[in-house]
Amino acid sequence: MQIDNQITTITEGKTQILIPRGALEQKVPPRDIAFFNPRAKLSRDFSIIVYSTFLKNFEGQKLFLDGLSGLGARGLRVANEIPGTEVFVNDLNPSALELSKKSAEINNLANYQVSKNDICQFFNAFSKKGSRGAIVDIDPFGSPAKYIDCGIRATVHKGMLSVSATDLQVLHGLFKDACKKKYHGIPVKTAYSNEISIRLILGLTISVAARLDVEATPMFVETNQHYYRVYLRILNKPDTRDQIGYIAHCKNCGNRRATSESISSCELCSSTIELAGPLWIGKLFDKDFVAQMIQNIPDYVDKKCEKAIQKALLESEMPACYYTLDEIAERLKSAPIPLDQIISRLQQNGFSASPTSFNPTGFRTNSKIDKIKEIFSA
């Protein structure tokens, strides 16, 4: 097949993808070429592991719907690397879709179809009983907020909804009013802002689902540089859980916890508390599902994925709100100690403790910060 010299071919996973050179060479791609983010490869690797694990136990048509596909990198990889899938990708950029189709041809994919439509009109076409997707993917530039409703409607009972966000300045608290409007909650700037961000995304998605008499449960989440993503199982039944609440954070002593109530003062130092939320305060990982993911990691994906998934398994039953070594060391005005050392010391003192996939120097524990500081400096 003839490809012009402005187009290059990359291989991601086991899949060849045609990319405009400008999308790879320029930090801000021109508007007239299709957008592609090479830094999101790690996130696409995670997706392949999550989706293939999920579909192994899924009964029914393995239909994958990507509402904002760009050049189709994720959909192409699903079609090529996960057997038995039927993939429909959608975008409004005709040049992106044209390249996407050519990529499908060079990978000899007969299970890959493209659509040029508004995302919600695309999802609406699959929202009737018998035509819904086993996996529905929402991957916007910025916030996914306005697409979640139609994404849920297009997801089959016992299917999976996958949602990403890249508006991290909003989620991290630079624009609190914008965050409240988009995610129905406000953040607090902390050392664990990426966890608060993930919980805000989940809080919005789960609340929208509940309004539709749908229960959405987190299976796996990932934070990768400027890219946050959540994966939820969808069940067509009313959501009777009470897991929307707040993260209470004390700037004075560093104490933190998830709470279902709006509290005002710190239980350790009585200082005024800052509240992040409303947001999801339940589990971020389904332990059994993450264990299955570990058994299902292809050889060709980035090794960082395996390390992150191993950590996710260890932290899957742990409390909300991780700590970092630097944060504790700074409060104590001392040098950090190794991560395995603080985890070991906490466990020896009768606390549960684990590393976290959210931060390479982060750890989770059921200990309060006063005891952590005492153990840290012992």
3-state secondary structure of 162: strand
Distance CA 283, CA 220 (A): 10
Which of 39, 49, 44 is closest to 225 using CA atoms?
Answer: 39
pLDDT score of 353 more than 70: yes
Strand order in the sheet with 353-356: 323-324, 359-365, 353-356
Q: 25-39, 70-84, 124-138: lowest mean pLDDT where?
A: 25-39
Spatial CB neighbours of 74, under 8 Å, sequence gap ≥ 6: 44, 47, 66, 137, 139
In this structure, the number of other CB atoms found within 10 A of the CB of residue 188 comes to 21
Q: What percent of the chain is modeled with pLDDT above 70?
A: 96
Q: For residues 56 and 83, what is the distance between their CA atoms, to the nearest angstrom?
A: 10
Residue 126 is encoded by which pair of tokens? 């699959």
Is 70 exceeded by the pLDDT of residue 369?
yes
What whole-number distance in Å separates Cα of residue 86 and Cα of residue 83? 9
191 vs 260: CA distance, rounded Å: 22
Please state the domain extents for the chain.
7-241
Residue 222, pLDDT > 90, answer yes
pLDDT of residue 155: 98
> What does the CA dihedral 49, 53, 56, 58 come to, rounded to 10 degrees?
-120
Q: Which residue is it, tokens 């050889």?
A: 299
28 — pLDDT class (breaks 50, 70, 90): low
Task: Kindly state the helix (H) or strand (E) to which residue 230 belongs, with its residue range.
Answer: strand 227-235
Reported as a pLDDT band with limits 50, 70 and 90, residue 226 is confident
Query: Does residue 375 contact residue 346 with C-beta atoms inside 8 Å?
Result: yes
Q: Which amino acid is at 250?
A: C
Strand-pair category, 86-90 with 7-12: unpaired
Q: Which of 194, 183, 187, 193 is nearest to 173 (CA)?
A: 187
Containing 317, the helix (H) or strand (E) segment is none
Token code pair at residue 302: 């980035």
**Residue-averaged pLDDT of the chain:** 95
| pTM score of the predicted model | 0.96
What is the per-residue pLDDT across 89-110, written as a single tens digit (0 to 9) for each? 999 999 999 999 999 999 999 9
CA distance 231 to 46: 11
Nearest to 111 by CA among 85, 148, 77, 149: 85
- When pLDDT is averaged across residues 216-227 and rounded to a whole number, the result is 93
pLDDT-derived band at 170 (thresholds 50, 70, 90) equals very high
Token pair listed for 150 = 């139609």
Question: Which CATH number describes the domain made up of 7-241?
Answer: 3.40.50.150
Give pLDDT tens digits for 260-304: 999 999 999 999 999 999 999 999 999 999 999 999 999 999 999
> Coil, strand or helix: which one is 273?
coil
Rounded Cα gap, residues 224 and 139, in angstroms: 14
> pLDDT above 90 covers what percent of the chain?
91
